[in-house]
Amino acid sequence: MNDPILSIQHLRRDFKMGDETVHALRGVSFDVHSGEFLTIMGTSGSGKSTMLNILGCMDKPTSGEYILDGNHIEKLKSDALAHIRSRKLGFVFQSYNLLARTTAIENVELPLLYNSKISASERHDRAVEALKRVGLESRMNHLPNQLSGGQQQRVAIARALVNDPVIILADEATGNLDTRTSYEIMEIFQELNSRGKTIVFVTHEPDIATFSSRTIVLRDGQIKRDTPNGNIQNAHEAFMALPPPETFDDEEESA
């Protein structure tokens, strides 16, 4: 098998809370290879948020190794970490985190602003391209408050794609969405994955995990289970199988 794109060895993360030390992660090791769709699951307090912060290069482990695309992250200073985040990672958050009163395309362009090698025109072209991939090219100039939750999350996915990251990290990316919209979003993630994007998806919803190729379950800061998914559900089919959205009579009439 080829070298892993992401490798974690004996990762520990302690937090000092007054006199007490909280061990959020107690020696976690796993590899992620290019093209995998990994879900990290766990209840609150299991350490999955801490895991995600470290994977996202926003936090550093107390001990252990984290190698991302050949870079020893645990040795990097904050500016270097920012550089890694800018070039190698894409984030999708539960609450979208789009800039208010800023158009969809400008939100998508945002990560490229922190890469001085990219010209304004290239920035625009790449943002348009990313919006096309999530099917929102017709809403480029809409403001976030003019978009539905699902559309906002698609803008956020486009933003995560625009810098062509080696990994997309999603943090409960469907947590604020209803089932139908969740499945639509998962469809996009599956589509990206099928084109070779590596995805790490943190969630606590078991049905989301069924769309991924592998699931790691964390409990009390340790890996409880690390299993490949033999039966990957197709999000599009799952979406089609859902009962039609509840409608009201007057709406049907007006339609």
Partner 1 sequence: MSPFTLIKIAFRALLRNRMRTFLSVLGIVIGVAAVITMVAMGEGSKQSIKAKITAMGTNAITIMPNSSFRGGVQLDASSSTVTLEEADVIALREKAQYINGVSPMVTANGQAIVGNKNEAVSLSGISSDYLKIRNYEIDQGVMFDDSADRMAKVCVIGQTVVSTLFPNTDPIGKTIRYKNIPLKVIGTLKAKGSSDFGQDQDEVIFTPYQTVMKRFNATTDIRTIYANSIGEGYASLASEEIMSILKERRSWKEARDPFRVRTQEEMIEMITSTSDLLSLVLTAIAGISLLVGGIGIMNIMYVSVTERTREIGLRMAIGARGRDILLQFLFESVMISLLGGLVGILLGVLATTGVKLFLNWPMSITASSVIVSFGVCFATGVFFGWYPARKASRLDPIEALRFE
List interacting residues with partner 1 (CB under 8 A).
53, 56, 58-59, 78-79, 82-83, 85-87, 91, 93, 97, 99, 101-102, 110-111, 113-116, 159, 163
To partner 1, the closest distance from the beta carbon of 99 in angstroms equals 6
To partner 1, the closest distance from the beta carbon of 84 in angstroms equals 8
55-69: b or e for each residue (b if 16 or more CB lie within 10 Å)?
A: bbbebbbbebebbbb
Pick between residue 94 and residue 213 the one whose CB is nearest to partner 1.
Answer: 94
To partner 1, the closest distance from the beta carbon of 145 in angstroms equals 13
Give the contacts of 205 (CB within 8 A, at least 6 positions apart): 174, 175, 182
Residue 226 tokens read as 């690390």
Pick between residue 67 and residue 110 the one whose CB is nearest to partner 1.
Answer: 110
Pick between residue 163 and residue 198 the one whose CB is nearest to partner 1.
Answer: 163
To partner 1, the closest distance from the beta carbon of 203 in angstroms equals 17
Pick between residue 7 and residue 53 the one whose CB is nearest to partner 1.
Answer: 53
Q: In sequence order, what are the beta bridge partners of 219? A: 222
Q: ∠147-173-38 over CA atoms, to 5°?
A: 145
Q: Compute the distance between CA of residue 48 and CA of residue 52 in angstroms, rounded to an integer.
A: 6
Alpha-carbon separation of residue 152 from 80, 232, 240 (angstroms)? 30, 26, 22
Pick between residue 115 and residue 227 the one whose CB is nearest to partner 1.
Answer: 115
Residue 11 tokens read as 């990762």
In the chain, DSSP finds a helix count (H) and a strand count (E) of: 9, 10
To partner 1, the closest distance from the beta carbon of 134 in angstroms equals 16
